[in-house]
Amino acid sequence: MSDGMIADPVPASELQTLRADVAGHRLEVIFDGAERLERLLALINGAIRSIDLVMYIFRQDGAGTRILDAMTMAAKRGVRVRAVIDSFGSSDTADAVFAPLRDAGGGVTFFSRHWRSTYLIRNHQKLLLVDEEIAVTGGFNIADPYLNRRDTHCWFDLGIVVRGPSVARMVDWFAEIHDYTVNDDGKLLALRRLIREWPVDSGPVTWLVGGPTQRLSPWARAVRTDLEGARRLDMVMAYFSPGQGMLRRLGRVARRGRTRFIMSAKSDNPATIGASRLLYGYLLRKRAAIWEYQPCRLHMKLIVIDDVVHVGTANFDMRSLFVNVEVMLRIEDAGFAAQMRDFVTRQKPDCEVITRKRHKARASWLTRLRWTLAWFVVGVVDYTVTRRLNFGLGEIDPETEI
């Protein structure tokens, strides 16, 4: 099977940005972490009216300090600045860190700031809105490993800058999630209703949200629909441990067409790698191509299905499919999809190709046992405990799908 290689590909390390115009939107994908940091600072420093930020991890390190200082300066010059920070992801960041921003007139609130049944629901979103005209999202957090040049200690990720009419949808979304965090934080039914009732646009550039739903979240439903009948699939995914239903859908695409997966070879949580590797055998039998990214830790969340691109904050695992609050951008455009496929192709020199022979050679009975235990912890225990704590403490939603 062909890997779809392009002639004389640009070395992956030299590819920093990618630009496209789609349906009245200007898109810019930034792959280099240091470039991403400079672009974020430029947008914040150029803000005139408003800065709205949702962030899973916000650290008080070099990158975090520069971003926070820029937000504080913006508030001092009269820009409305609001931030929603996840208390779990940013548990090492003291609330006092944001005192200068608050003193300058900005607002900072923490999602799941109290121990309640919803504490294990994580606001996994990464979203910056500037002047209600520019949106930035992707897998990256505000911390040095995500916003530096690629080296062995970085997280390889991307950010996408969006200008165009659909940004208004994220302005509304931020208002809703900010209002929930300020007034209803910890109220599960309110959060579930917000996710469930959020309208999904039908245009070529669409923002999708996910959260603690009983079944697949809205963004996951969109992916499932796009997979039906698909013939080409490329996925670059930090954490990969879907349920059997979604895994079978991926297998069907591999059988009838061409699929490529780039998975992590390095991570901050080795169990997530083992959980992914347990699923390789099935995908390889369906003739999928699997590559493992070697230079550093992979943190990207990118899916290309035929002429549709999904990019944003959601992993392809049980947490992102059912539990965490996520945001994903769906772009339906053949030209943009081709550009992103070329990006995937360019990563091959930095990856180890996992063949059936290679997979079998390292899948000893002891290794498979470890992978199975890892999958159980990542895909069953964490997910089951979270859902039981979040959904099993007496709140009854009359509109729940059974």
Summarised one tens digit per residue, pLDDT across range 52-73 is 999 999 999 999 999 999 999 9
pLDDT at 311: 98
| Distance, CA of 155 to CA of 149 (rounded, Å) | 9
Q: pTM for this structure?
A: 0.91
pLDDT at 6: 36
Confidence band (pLDDT; 50, 70, 90) for 383?
A: low
Task: Render the burial of 190-220: b for 16+ CB within 10 Å, e for the rest.
Answer: ebbebbbebeeeeebbbbbbbbbbeebbbbb
In the predicted structure, residue 47 carries a pLDDT above the cut 80: yes
Confidence band (pLDDT; 50, 70, 90) for 152?
A: low
The third-level CATH classification (topology) of the domain covering 15-391 is Endonuclease; Chain A (3.30.870)
Confidence band (pLDDT; 50, 70, 90) for 248?
A: very high
Beta strand pairing call for 25-30 and 50-55: unpaired
Counting Cα atoms < 13 Å in the Cβ hemisphere of 343 gives 25
Residue-wise pLDDT for 283-308, tens only, equals 999 999 999 999 999 999 999 999 99
In the predicted structure, residue 227 carries a pLDDT above the cut 60: yes
Q: What's the CA angle centered on 192, arms 189 and 198, to 5 degrees?
A: 135
Confidence band (pLDDT; 50, 70, 90) for 9?
A: very low
Mean pLDDT of the chain: 89
pLDDT at 386: 57
| Distance, CA of 371 to CA of 369 (rounded, Å) | 5
| Of 346, 234, 325, 228, the residue nearest 288 (C-alpha) | 234
